[in-house]
Structure 1
Amino acid sequence: MYNNSDRFKLFCLEGVKEISDLNASFILPFLENLALHQGIVNTYKSCDSIESLEESLSALLYADRSFKDYEILYLVFEGEGNAIVLDDYYYTLGEIAEFFEGKLSGKILHFANTKLLDLDEEEAQYFLDVTGARAVSGYNKKVPVYSAAIDNEFFGLCQQYDDVVEIVEELYAHHAAICTTMGFVLYY
């Protein structure tokens, strides 16, 4: 079905309360579903502090030989405003942009709805310009449902289409109600 060298690849980084708690992640079953049912190869890493976040991002950028192959970086963190929150520390999207300066060429950075993506056009453009990312996406409405099911659909469409506008059109064509309810947004 899939040629290993042509497989779509995703990197997931999740903020958890305690890395040593093997049951801390609720995203792993969804990642397994991506691999089994959509053929999306994914790598998972968790972090529980700003130090482990920065360590994970550094390892991703400088030590992970697959970094160039990841098409989506999937961030699953709590957050508010334009920041993720980890161990009571706020890490802004501006800081994330500077960390990834020029290194996300052709990649989509996607946030789960555990952190609302609340950017104005200027902030989004700054993020895209600094990182070189193809797009940044997520959700801007707080709902009591986790976004993994629609994230899986989004990732599947990213695997099928190159044009981000076409991806969003297809997502809304098949899942308009949930996309609207959750406030799916994509900046490119």
Structure 2
Amino acid sequence: MGSTEDLKLFCLEAVRDASKTNDSKLFPMLEHLAFEHGITNVYQTCDSITSFEQSLNNLLYEDRNFMDYELIYLVVKGTGEDIVIDGYRYSLQEIAELFEGKLKGKIIHFANTKTLDIDLETAQYFIDITRAKALSGYVEETIFDSTFLDSKLIAHFYQDTDDPEALVKLLLENQNKLAHALGFRLFY
């Protein structure tokens, strides 16, 4: 990926009501990434599949710097092949088809609020349809959230290598216990 000066992150969090002021638990992590590591990030909220799609479409079609964003960090609920927004389930296949061919070269990373307990075929379908570089997240739903490990992944690992195998090796060397506890998965 290059240096952290080049790394740009788009974070989309599903909330109950996007029209209300949101004091997200993600703000300290995003501020830390910006101030300590020089990682440019954009934070948005969504409260429906329509606003989820609209936020990503705005990023795709209206943000002049879209090509510079290498990582899309999704903080949504869900399990297995589904995400849940506003009580409705959407499959990763449906999401892939919404963004067919539009995520070329991007890494899509899910926080552990949505477990990524999927098979290789589902992951490969998502990657092939969206043209994403990789899909990552966690298998385990735990009592603690993945914010700490997500921060480490973004600040120290994703920008250090373009090689997914090297990324996993770096992660396991430096955050082995936490990565195993959360069940980190990376598909490419």
- Answer yes or no: same fold by TM over 0.5: yes
Residue 35 of structure 2: aligned partner:
36
CA contact (8 A) 1:109 1:137 kept: yes
What per-residue deviation string (whole Å, max 9, x for no partner) do you get for residues 29-56 of structure 1?
1111111111111011101112211211
Which stretch shifts more, 112-121 or 158-167?
158-167
CA contact (8 A) 1:105 1:134 kept: yes
SS at match of 1:118: coil
2-structure distance, mates of 1:24, 1:117: 26
SS at match of 1:79: coil
1:173 aligns with 2:173: yes
Residue 45 of structure 1: aligned partner:
44
CA contact (8 A) 1:16 1:24 kept: no
2-structure distance, mates of 1:77, 1:137: 14
SS at match of 2:173: helix
2-structure distance, mates of 1:83, 1:27: 22
What per-residue deviation string (whole Å, max 9, x for no partner) do you get for residues 93-146 of structure 1?
111111121122211000000000011011011111111111100000111111
1-structure distance, mates of 2:131, 2:7: 20
What value does the CA root-mean-square deviation take over the aligned residues? 1.5
Count the aligned residue pairs: 185
SS at match of 2:78: strand
1-structure distance, mates of 2:128, 2:69: 19
Shift in Å, 1:78: 0.8
2-structure distance, mates of 1:74, 1:126: 19
Residue identity matched to 2:65:
S
Unaligned runs of 5+ in 1: none
Residue identity matched to 1:169:
K
Residue 11 of structure 2: aligned partner:
12
Which stretch shifts more, 139-148 or 95-104?
95-104
Runs (4+) off by over 4 Å:
none
Residue 75 of structure 2: aligned partner:
76
1-structure distance, mates of 2:66, 2:118: 26
Residue 131 of structure 1: aligned partner:
130
Which stretch shifts more, 53-62 or 15-24?
15-24
Residue 109 of structure 1: aligned partner:
108
- By relative contact order (CA 8 Å, sep 6+), the higher-ranking structure is 2
CA contact (8 A) 1:76 1:114 kept: yes
TM-score normalised by structure 1 residue count: 0.93
What per-residue deviation string (whole Å, max 9, x for no partner) do you get for residues 9-64 of structure 1?
01000000111332352212111111111111101110111221121122111111
Which stretch shifts more, 100-109 or 16-25?
16-25
